């Protein structure tokens, strides 16, 4: 396995561990917060808003965790760094900057331009 790809794999594994650790902390703090009671409805509403915001963040992190797992699987099977759209190589700098990417910069740019055209 290429040294650079191995370094990216280690980076992905570390990021995965951090996300799982943070998720565990959120669950533990959420369970503790559910036991709190607030005499003031405004305080209760603020606490619920904070919890909803935190859960939305964790939802995004869950999607990132799935992308990390998929990237690690591609590394393990030898298809990492190959654009899923055109089949070309994804540049090393792009992989280092965004290790979970599945598109080369050209295909990603084209995808974003198509999304802009469809949206507006």
- List, as one string, the DSSP characters of 36-80: ---SSHHHHHHHHHHHHHHHHHHHHHHHHHHHHHHHHHHHHHT-T
Domains and CATH numbers, the chain: 1-79 (1.20.120.910), 81-120 (no CATH)
Rounded to whole angstroms, how far apart are CA atoms 92 and 98?
10
State if pTM tops 0.85.
Answer: no
| Helix, strand, or coil (residue 89) | strand
pLDDT band at 34 (very low <50, low <70, confident <90, very high): low
pLDDT digits (tens, 9 = 90+) for 43-59: 778 877 777 777 777 77
Residue 32 is predicted with a pLDDT of 58
Rounded to whole angstroms, how far apart are CA atoms 54 and 61?
10
């Amino acid at each position: 396995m290429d040294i650079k790809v191995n370094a990216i794999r280690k980076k992905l594994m570390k990021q995965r561990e951090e996300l799982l650790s943070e998720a565990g902390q959120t669950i533990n703090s959420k369970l503790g917060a559910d036991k709190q009671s607030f005499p003031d409805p405004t305080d209760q509403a603020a606490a619920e808003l904070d919890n909803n915001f935190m859960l939305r963040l964790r939802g995004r992190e869950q999607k990132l965790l799935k992308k990390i797992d998929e990237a690690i699987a591609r590394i393990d099977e030898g298809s990492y760094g190959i654009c899923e759209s055109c089949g070309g190589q994804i540049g090393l700098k792009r992989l280092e900057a965004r290790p979970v990417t599945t598109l080369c910069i050209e295909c990603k740019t084209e995808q974003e331009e198509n999304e802009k055209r469809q949206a507006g």
